[in-house]
Amino acid sequence: MTSLSRSDTSAPSPRRPFAKRLLDGLSPSRLAVPVFLLSWSFLVLAPLVVIVLFSFLQVKAYRVVYVPTLDTWVSLIDSGRWMTAVRTLRIGLTMTVIELLLAFPFALWLAKGCKSKTFKSVIITLLTIPFFLDASSRIIVWRSILGTNGAINTALMSLGITDSPIDWLLYSEFAVHFGLLGTHFPTMVFPIFMSIALIDDDYIQASQDLGAGPAQTLFNIILPMALPGIVAGIVFTLVPLMAAFVEPQLLGGGFVDLLGNSVNSALQQLKYPTAAALSTVVVALLGLCLVVLILVTRKRHDMASMFMAIRR
Amino acid sequence: MLSDPIDSPTSAPTRRPSSPAPTQPILEVIDATHAYDGVVALENVTVTAAPGEFLTILGESGSGKTTLLRLISGLEKPYRIGALRLGGVDVREVPAFLRDCTTVFQNYALFPHLTVGANVEYGLKVRGIAAAERRTRARQALELVQLADMYDRKIHQLSGGQRQRVALARALVPQPAILLLDEPLGALDEKLRVDMQVELLELQKRLGMTFIYITHSQEEALTMSDRIILMRKGKIEQEGPPTTIFDRPVSSFAARFMGVENCFDAELTGVSGSDALIRVGDHHLIGRWSGRKPPKAGAKVAVGIRAERLRLARAAPTGPDLNVLPCRGGGAIYKGKYLDRAVETDVAPMKARIWDASAADGEPSCVWWRKDDCIVMEP
């Protein structure tokens, strides 16, 4: 009797379905790591490698010639398109800094200052508009406002503030910066907002209690504890900025060409190797920026322990 | 200056007879009222503390004790306050970071992105003190709480008891006039709590600092305080030295909070001196009046007797100052060091504490207690 019951418990039930046993045997990391690596390399990494390789090929009479050549890269440098890369990097970094300076105080207020829950959710909803409204339709409106016959110039002239229309408002670097501002604001605000909202009010109060003024609390407590969010905000803002093409196209008027535009026009002219080379430049610049970012933040703070600290 | 009845002479610390006569109070909270979203958390509360005093604010959760502490530290702005003075200076309009007091938070609130040393130094850093001096003073403070070798550790590497000590060191380093402690031992286990009680008390005596200590544990309050303020629903129920609060609670709430096991209602039939004559059903009893206002005959009162003051007997003893009630024996609860014996009387079920377990044999026929052990108080 006893031996029977013992064998019952020790031997696994033979009727358990095979699929179920297989699933039970899989731990999350054993499943997640291979699935992620496989799908990510198929979806993202492989096309990236193809793009880089493609930039060393040529298209002749609408057919790809599979002979490695540096022609595309040479023409890229000769035609002065490297200036575009520099400009893209400059505008991308400037805009990231501007967005950070605007978004941090805003996120701080939204997370800690705004007491009304309704108001907070309304603002968060409003911030998602750039995600669901098409960029071209949002941006094109600015032409009729910033243009020489636009609303601002008409208003300024009828008020007698200026005699002639201000022409740098549209089709200029100013206009491109202005157009990029709204599109990339939410991607900077959201991560910073999340990380500041996660900071327990007790830390801020403890800081005050120990004698730190508002500015000291901001720089000693809030800023370092919000660093993961700030880094995420920079990444999520800088990356799309490097590939922006709608705003420079519609508001730059051909004077402010960015890499995104160049890729776009190259594709339209069916110059695939040129598009591939330009995309490679974008990816390389981004990689460079991210490496610098990681080095700078790691010098000051250990990110892994930062997240552990937030989790408490 | 202080005509409030709460500022009676009992507020002088009793454990330090050597300390000079009451000087200017280091803390004065006069007539503080505060409400959160329409719910009153504090109602006309007046608290003062003498320099070097260990003052405990005792109460259950929601009694307003933490609110009171936050008003003092400046983290909460009172709805209405008569006066708020720290060291004689009006601080009603002074923000928290300029007030000369620091807090040990209930959950410690140690900055997770800083090391132990940087946490302890924080109060000095924001005051612009040079790094070398900061380091020395932080090390001294860590030595004070016996964590000298933890200077470079990260906060998440510490145990609960160590975090508690770091929080204490961090609050002590700026050398505030008053240290506010918000249930600092609440998250620790029993053994550690008892050890820390002793350590805190020694530290307070050594530094001569004023401690305002918040707790919900009557045992902690009795062990550590010079004076206890018992709070109930945003008001002060009773205040005085531990012995007064323990032996002479003014109300049945205070009595129950201070662990008086046997409480029942009665009617006051007469008063002679400090003696109170009471009637419960057909039984006439005698006790000591300990309420605030002088009692009136015919008033409803509460009666409290501690379990350890009740005696069980087979034959009723006789004496002028004894209360005797017939009883029937009930169950007994074994508590290790003692035995709690439940008995049934005509008045109420009662609990008697028997320290000698061998004496618990047999069936008692009556329960008796002395007049002085019978607390008659406000219902």
Question: According to the model, what pLDDT value does residue A300 have?
Answer: 61
- Cβ–Cβ below 8 Å for B75 and A208: yes
pTM for the full predicted model: 0.79
CB contact under 8 A, B113 and A206: no
Q: Give chain A positions within 8 Å (CB) of B98.
A: 211
Q: How far is A300 from chain B (nearest CA, A)?
A: 11
Question: Shortest Cα distance from B102 to chain A (angstroms)?
Answer: 6
CA angle A238, A296, B120 (to 5 degrees): 125
Mean pLDDT split into 10-residue runs, chain B, 379 residues: 38 43 81 88 92 92 90 91 90 91 92 92 93 92 88 89 91 92 86 87 90 92 92 91 91 90 89 85 87 82 90 82 84 83 86 76 82 87
Look at residue A49 and tell me whether its pLDDT is greater than 50. Answer: yes
| Residue in chain A lying closest to B126 (CA) | A212
Better pLDDT: B205 or A165: B205
Contact A200 B109 (CB under 8 A): yes
Residues of chain B with C-beta less than 8 angstroms from the C-beta of A297? none
Q: For chain A, state the CA radius of gyration.
A: 27
Q: What is the CATH number of domain B27-247?
A: 3.40.50.300
Residue of A209, A297, A303, A311 for testing the chain B interface, max B β-carbons within 10 Å: A209
What pLDDT does residue A297 have?
77
pLDDT at B123: 94
The predicted structure's pLDDT at residue A204 = 94
- Report CB contact under 8 Å: B170, A210: yes
A138 conformational bin, left if phi > 0, alpha if psi -120 to 50, beta if neither: alpha
> In chain B, which residue's Cα lies nearest the Cα of A213?
B97
pLDDT-derived band at A230 (thresholds 50, 70, 90) equals very high
* Number of helices (H), then strands (E), in chain A: 19, 2
DSSP state of A166: -
pLDDT over 90 (residue A194): yes
**What dotted CATH number matches B261-377?**
2.40.50.100
Distance from CA of B114 to the nearest CA of A (A): 9
- Asked if residue B224 lies in contact with residue B201, where contact means CB atoms within 8 angstroms, the answer is yes
Instruction: Give the start-to-end residue ranges of the domains of chain B.
Output: 27-247, 261-377
Q: Say what the pLDDT of residue A17 is.
A: 78
Cβ <8 Å between B123 and A309: no
Nearest CB to B113: which of A211, A212, A224? A224
Res. A21 pLDDT band, cuts 50 70 90: confident
Name residue B334's beta-bridge partners.
B339
| Interchain CB distance below 8 Å, B171 and A305 | no
What dotted CATH number matches A81-311? 1.10.3720.10
Q: What is the 3-state secondary structure (H, E, C) of A291-306?
A: HHHHHHHHHHCCHHHH
- Provide, as residue numbers in chain B, all residues whose Cβ is less than 8 Å from the Cβ of A224: 113
Give the per-residue pLDDT at B138: 93
Chain A residue with CA closest to B75: the answer is A205
| Contact indicator for A224, A209 with CB cutoff of 8 Å | no
Which amino acid would we find at residue A131?
Answer: F
The b-or-e profile of A77-92 (16+ CB within 10 A means b, else e) is: eeeebeebbebbbebb
